[in-house]
Structure 1
């Protein structure tokens, strides 16, 4: 059985693009992917047989705002707890780096909300904080 390796370094751009595609996500231009990878605050990647099989990252200013992004597990490795392994590492990073008043946020894919609620993330129902918004280009 091949050993699972957890790294806290960014993956190579081509690997990251391929993992995004495996999840059905579109990719921007390769130079945008490369720049985005290096601009991240924190990475978690799971590798098996030297292949990227799952990842997650944090982007933001590193002081007040931390945004969880790109939690991806390759379809052939889903259901093995890798998403939780990634989130556990991300939560450890946030616990060590977030000061009082900081905000950690994410956009959950449809149907994945309860996964993130287990980590203390709340749905924005529009009552107290508004629904939240985004714009895609």
Structure 2
């Protein structure tokens, strides 16, 4: 669905919006109460609306000065390929530029197939000659 005018809001990400959009792209579901706590500790969030419908989200976690981790950049499949990802990343970059120190570390884990998008925004893939592989570990209870 093509729409010319989207409304961009910051610090308005709710658990319901978070869960709804992550479900639309089949990301791992989390319990509602866990989402509430996670969002409470979010440094920055963005929600893009088409009218009253949330169609894209993104958030930043970290220490607010040296380390920033971009998380949950999610676009409703019906709204992909409309530059919403770029809108999200521009807002996130503006936030980090405002609060981050010189040399701040900005990281993310790209969903398979989106690496080129993030490379166009200045991110580099690992491993490379100067950096080892990025690594991740999941807690299983």
What is the TM-score when the length of structure 2 is the normalising length? 0.91
From 70, 73, 79, the equivalent of 2:72 is: 70
Residue 114 (structure 1) aligns with: 116
After TM superposition, the structure 1 = structure 2 runs for residues 14-93 of structure 1, keeping only pairs within 5 Å, are 14-93=16-95
Q: What value does the CA root-mean-square deviation take over the aligned residues?
A: 1.4
Q: Where does structure 1 differ by over 4 angstroms across 4 or more consecutive aligned residues?
A: none
Contact 1:46–1:54 at 8 Å: present in 2 too?
yes
What is the TM-score when the length of structure 1 is the normalising length? 0.94
- Measure the CA separation in 2 of the matches of 1:104 and 1:94: 8
1:50 CA displacement: 1.0
Report SS of the residue matched to 1:19: helix
Q: Which runs of 5+ in 2 are unaligned?
A: none
Q: Number of aligned residue pairs: give it.
A: 137
1:5 CA displacement: 0.9
1:49 CA displacement: 2.2
Q: Which runs of 5+ in 1 are unaligned?
A: none
